[in-house]
Structure 1
Amino acid sequence: MDVSAVDIAKIPAGNVRVPRAEFVALWQRAERFHDEQVRRGVPDWYGAGVVETCRWLANTIVGLKRLAPSPVTGRMNVAYDELIEAECLAAEKLAVSRPVPAHLEHRPGWIEAVVTTLNWAWRRYGSPPLECR
């Protein structure tokens, strides 16, 4: 998916706590990288986790006029403060679940990407999940 100027303009100011330009650069990089991996037939669950999380934080419309769901809980609501924090907690809980849930066993790196993206973009903790150079 190409991140359009319209997509960027619609990112709610309160949904990301890192500089907007940094979030946009990460999101664009993640979309390009993930699309390239898919074209090459390379499984990319980490990239998918970053992309899904960025789309949700940005309240992006995907597919046929459908709001991007939250990555962990699958909520179809617009992302806002309380919901973003709840998603962070759900992601952290899922990341430490033992035994590892079956749906995560076949998605290596996905939950780590979601947690890293939320921690960076929302909590301003840690590094971006991908390099943006």
Structure 2
Amino acid sequence: MLVAENDLERVRLENLRVGLAEFGSVWSAAEGRVSAQARAGVTDWFAGGVVLTCRWLAGAAVEYRGRRRPPVAPITRCTSAAIEELIEAEYLAAVTLTGNPVSPLVIDRPGFLDAIVATLAWAWRCSGPAPDLSPGPAQPGHA
């Protein structure tokens, strides 16, 4: 999915604690990385976690099996639109899961949970840097 200007225009600004342009840059970089890695036959769980979280925060419709659907929350799979209370609940659910090293989200999807926590901490809590999507040597948690 390419992040278009009209995608950013639809974002509820109350969902973000960072600037819309900065959010758009990170979201676009994550989408690009997921696409590039997929073309190379690689599943990048970290970038995928950033993408899913950004799509949910932005309320960006996604195509699934040929149909456009609203995005779901990356951890709770809640189908409601992202609003302040749900974003905070999603962040807390993600942080709680980090303490469960046997969770399939930790074992089967290396980097996925870390990406969600990092994205929500940055975009919602404004308590960390933007998720690091820079190319380079394999980073912990990246597939």
User: Which TM-score band (shorter chain)?
Assistant: over 0.9
- Tell me which of 122, 125, 140 is aligned to 1:123: 125
Residues 131 and 105 of structure 1: CA distance in aligned 2, closer, same or farther (over 3 Å): closer
Correspondence 1:89 to 2:99: no
Letter in 2 for 1:69: V
Aligned to 1:51: 51
User: What is the TM-score when the length of structure 1 is the normalising length?
Assistant: 0.94
Give aligned pairs, total.
132
* Runs (5+) with no aligned partner, structure 2: 135-143
Could you give the per-residue CA deviations for residues 35-77 of structure 1, whole angstroms, max 9, x where no partner exists? 1001101120001000000000001100122111000000011
The runs of at least 4 consecutive aligned structure 1 residues that moved more than 3 Å come to none
The RMSD of aligned alpha carbons is: 1.5
Could you give the per-residue CA deviations for residues 75-97 of structure 1, whole angstroms, max 9, x where no partner exists? 01100000000000000001111
Q: Distance in 1 between matches of 2:17 and 2:84?
A: 11
Aligned to 2:141: none
Q: Distance in 1 between matches of 2:49 and 2:129?
A: 15
Q: Distance in 1 between matches of 2:41 and 2:130?
A: 25
Q: Distance in 1 between matches of 2:20 and 2:117?
A: 19
Aligned to 1:61: 61
Higher helix fraction: Structure 1 or Structure 2?
1
Aligned to 2:138: none
* Runs (5+) with no aligned partner, structure 1: none
Correspondence 1:112 to 2:114: yes
* Preserved contact between residue 49 and residue 74 of structure 2 (Cα < 8 Å): yes
